[in-house]
Amino acid sequence: MSERVLFPRTAARRSGHLQVDDLHRIYWEQIGKSGGIPVVFLHGGPGSGISEAHRRFFDPETFDVVLFDQRGTGRSAPLAELRGNTTQDLITDIERLREHFGIEQWIVFGGSWGSTLALAYGEAHPERCLGFVLRGIFLGTEREVDWFLHGMGQFFPEAERRFVGFLPEQERGDLLAHYLRRLVAEDPEIHQPAADCWAGYEAACSSLLPLPAIGGEEPQRALSLARLEAHYFANRMFLEPGQLLAQLDRIRHLPAVIVQGRYDVICPISTAAQLAAAWPEAKFEIVPDAGHSAMEPGIARSLIEAMESIRQTIRP
């Protein structure tokens, strides 16, 4: 159980909201040691939000960690809002948070979509980064989006049947467009069932073995996850084709650890291997008995070890 691997439960030292534009207010919280090594935590999705469990990857006697709900997610407001919600907006928000806390540089920690955002942020602001811990690599390519929509069913056919079968037969030729049309509908009787089905599909495919936390999502979290993921997928993650690998030289001089589950079906290991090949200076840790979820024991252990590795690089 990952419960035995993670650091003890800890309360947020501080929390609040930051108004980042005329529409969006993002929720943030700070944990750990005041004056410790700064870290920013980037959650997955887009749209999944932070949880108390995410605090437990970090030694509270060593790190000073900022966690936040990205636009439209969790306790940020407005919930599931697509206006003003792009990768570039999120990069700007990270910088606003850094300035808000008076942090000069920090370690960037992100998994799944959080690894995408971490790379995009780092390449935009390399001078603000101490290093990277990246998990379940997603580079935001059309191939990866196509795999999510059409490939995961090779391993989880029952989940795919539910996901595809939710739509009328005549709409199954373009799953993304027809899910997105429902997810952006104002009527909860239209958007919520689609969101529940989308979130359930992802949850069913996220771990090698079933985890206690894997199951039905809260309706609001399912909506933000599904609506924002579909929005970002439809807009190619607001990235240029091949952008993250093409600009990798901007951060290759910084320490990095890549943690990847061998049997990750949501973000297959081939993508992590591609990143590792382009970034040979990074440590590439393959967890042999894990899928995608950060809560799997092997993944959680490797993430904690990765943070210690980066700490030793920064402060021997």
CA 185 – CA 84 distance, rounded (Å)? 18
pLDDT in tens, 264-313: 999 999 999 999 999 999 999 999 999 999 999 999 999 999 999 999 99
CA 58 – CA 43 distance, rounded (Å)? 14
State yes or no: cis peptide before 297, omega within 30 of 0.
no
Q: Nearest Cα to 205, choosing from 175, 171, 162? A: 162
pTM: 0.96
Cβ 262 vs Cβ 134: under 8 Å = no
- Strand runs labelled E in 85-214: 106-111, 129-135
CATH class of residue range 2-141+238-314? alpha beta
pLDDT in tens, the chain (316 residues): 456 789 999 999 999 999 999 999 999 999 999 999 999 999 999 999 999 999 999 999 999 999 999 999 999 999 999 999 999 999 999 999 999 999 999 999 999 999 999 999 999 999 999 999 999 999 999 999 999 999 999 999 999 999 999 999 999 999 999 999 999 999 999 999 999 999 999 999 999 887 654 334 588 999 999 999 999 999 999 999 999 999 999 999 999 999 999 999 999 999 999 999 999 999 999 999 999 999 999 999 999 999 999 999 987 5
Do you know the residue count of the chain?
316
What residue spans define the domains of the chain? 2-141+238-314, 143-237
Contacts of residue 49, defined as CB under 8 A and 6 or more positions apart, other chains included, come to: 43, 69, 70, 73, 74, 75, 221, 224
Cβ 60 vs Cβ 99: under 8 Å = no
Residue type, 269: I
Give residue for tokens 């027809």.
178
Provide the pLDDT for residue 315. Answer: 73
The residues pairing with 18 across neighbouring beta strands, listed in sequence order, are 26
Annotated catalytic sites, by residue?
112, 264, 292
Phi, psi torsion values for 138, nearest 5 degrees:
-135, 120
Alpha-carbon radius of gyration of the chain: 18
